[in-house]
A and B are shown apart, each in its own frame.
Chain A
Amino acid sequence: MNNSNKFDLQYFLTDSSFKNWAKGLNKNDIDYWNNWLQNNPQHIETVENAKSIVVGIKFKPQFPNNEKVDQELSKILPKIGLKNSTKNPFTKIQSLNKAIYFSAAAVVLILLSWTSLSLLNVHNTTTHQTNFGEIIDLKLPDGTSVVLNGNSEISYEKDNPRFINLKGEAYFRVKSIPSTNAKFWVITNDLKVEVLGTQFHVNTREQKTNVVLDEGSIHLEFKNGDVTKMIPGEMVSFSNKSNELIHKKVTVETPYALWRGGTYSFNEIPLKEVMFNLELTYGLEVRYSSNHLKDIPISGGIPNQNLKICIAAIEKATGTRIINKGNILQVQENPIY
């Protein structure tokens, strides 16, 4: 019988009910462990030791105050060539959003239907495709780099690698070629993006196309023949099917969802839209234990290279509990909140 070895320090310390007993927290746990001790008096010493580890010593940490920390921070920022642009240190989410918003170059987000026309000849066409949850970094022959999100596809003809067809979602860093002023195009079902050398994000998930530009300049040519020019900070959303066009300025106040090859940044986007995106990227099904959960707004940056981290970030942002069972994500209220 090796039973006594089982009840070592670690055994007690990893038991949350034991911790409750040690801290005198939960009546059931207290009764249970008092009873257990009476029946197992031989373990009393280990139990005492475990209890004192749980209870520990209560310190009043003398950490430097916020002023001191801010002062030190302002000393250090110039040394690493960064300026502290926000005065208020505790509007954390907003400020990170702003950082994302101001720092990235150009983002074009395109959503369109799956019935994408493929006029391409298979023989001289290069196609890159990703599976659910897979993200790949590509270098195109002209030097442009592309981050292709999960469940997406780009293709181009070999003799024209700056003319890209896209299904799904991708982030482009277009290599500019000043000598020839060569343009770069991304074609979706709803529109054509014409670029001279910038960074942008394209997504063809839904029945519409969203384009967000942070820097540089791009032209859009819609399927209905209209054209428009975008200036940095603007978002265009167009659906060929419904012929619906939205053209507005993205500010920190307006809702937006951006992806920059690894991280989504959301501003006041309802949970259901965020989860819909995950469904498409990872090939999952999302269920809600209650309808009101669908409308919880999300703001902030969510890394999406890893589903687990992504889910954890969404849970924290919304105060929900998301259980991943097979290919089904169950969104529930978090009893802690």
Chain B
Amino acid sequence: MELHSDETLWYFFKKGEVHAFSLLFKKYYPQLYVYGIKLSNAPALTEDCLQNFFIQLYEEREKKGTIKNLKAYLFVSFKRRLIKQLQKNQNNIPISEAQLFKSNFTFSAEEISIHQEIQFLCTTTLSQLINQLSPRQKEVIYLKYYSNMCSTDIAEVMDMNYQSVLNVLQKALSKLRLASQNQQIKSVLKKN
């Protein structure tokens, strides 16, 4: 009986229905909140920014057209807003996205499930390995496996084409695979 596809939610949201707003908020707040924190490393700022983001979304709902892909749309527009806010906090000194997000997307061991197909790695090691990836690789990994986004959506959020998303994923994962193999060899050597 799950009627609330994103299309339905968006339709009622645009009409100004309170419940549609609440449902939309409840559905996407958690994901956007964590995404914002991963991007900015600043929980308080993310929280404020996300509040304002939802308020603005509601106030400007009538201006917005039909949105094909709500999830990607929300991620993209929230990210843009967050970047703007961060730049403002830097006293409007133009600062590149890469610089802004220098230390973004760090993962803790608690965020990694023990059951991994990339075997023989403890969660701590795996989180360390992921944290060593490039910011772009980490963001793709985050969107794909943490936020369960499909590659087409990721392409939209990251402003890349579909093929590049696959390439980034492939590079990131083969780096991890290689690192995990090295770890395995090391651990085998230690035992002997």
Contact = CB atoms under 8 A, between A and B. Distances in A.
Contact of B1 (A49, A56, A70, A93): A93
A299 B169 CA distance: 41
A230 to B, nearest CB: 24
B132 interface: no
A1 interface: no
A303 B54 CA distance: 24
Contacts of B4: 92-93, 96, 300
Contacts of A27: none
Contact of A83 (B18, B33, B117, B177): B18
Contact of A61 (B19, B111, B126, B141): B111
A64 interface: yes
Contacts of A313: 3, 5, 7-8
Given A58-B145, A313-B8, A80 B58 contact: yes
Main secondary structure of the interface of A (DSSP, over half): helix
A58 B112 contact: yes
Given A49-B170, A53-B170, A89-B22, A96 B3 contact: yes
A317 B1 contact: yes
A140 interface: no
A96 B111 contact: no
A93 B20 CA distance: 10
B66 to A, nearest CB: 9
Nearest to B163: A10
Contacts of B160: none
Given A64-B29, A89-B26, A96-B3, A57 B166 contact: no
Interface in B47-81: 47, 50-51, 54-55, 58-59
B1 A73 contact: no
B172 to A, nearest CB: 9
A76 B29 CA distance: 12
Contacts of B170: 9, 49, 52-53
A150 interface: no
Interface in B1-52: 1-5, 7-8, 11-12, 17-23, 25-26, 29-31, 33-34, 47, 50-51
B11 A73 contact: no
Interface size class of A (residues with CB under 8 A): 35 or more
Contacts of B128: none
B146 interface: yes
A99 interface: yes
Given A72-B29, A76-B55, A96-B12, A57 B112 contact: yes
B19 A98 contact: yes
Interface string A297-323: 001111100000100110011010000
B5 to A, nearest CB: 6
Nearest to B7: A309
B175 to A, nearest CB: 10
- Ranked 7 nearest A-B pairs via Cβ: A63-B30, A300-B3, A58-B113, A99-B19, A52-B173, A55-B117, A56-B145
Interface of A: 9-10, 13, 48-49, 52-53, 55-64, 66, 69-70, 72-73, 75-77, 79-80, 82-86, 89, 92-93, 95-96, 98-100, 103, 262-263, 299-303, 309, 312-313, 316-317, 319
Given A98-B19, A301-B8, 10 more contacts: A52-B118, A52-B176, A53-B166, A57-B112, A58-B112, A62-B34, A76-B51, A99-B19, A263-B12, A312-B7
Interface of B: 1-5, 7-8, 11-12, 17-23, 25-26, 29-31, 33-34, 47, 50-51, 54-55, 58-59, 107, 110-113, 115-118, 126, 130, 141, 144-147, 151, 162-163, 166-167, 169-170, 173-174, 176-177
30 contacts: A10-B166, A13-B151, A52-B173, A53-B166, A56-B141, A57-B112, A57-B118, A57-B130, A58-B112, A58-B117, A60-B111, A60-B113, A61-B111, A63-B30, A72-B47, A73-B22, A76-B55, A77-B21, A79-B55, A80-B58, A85-B18, A86-B19, A92-B23, A93-B4, A95-B19, A100-B17, A103-B17, A263-B11, A300-B4, A313-B8
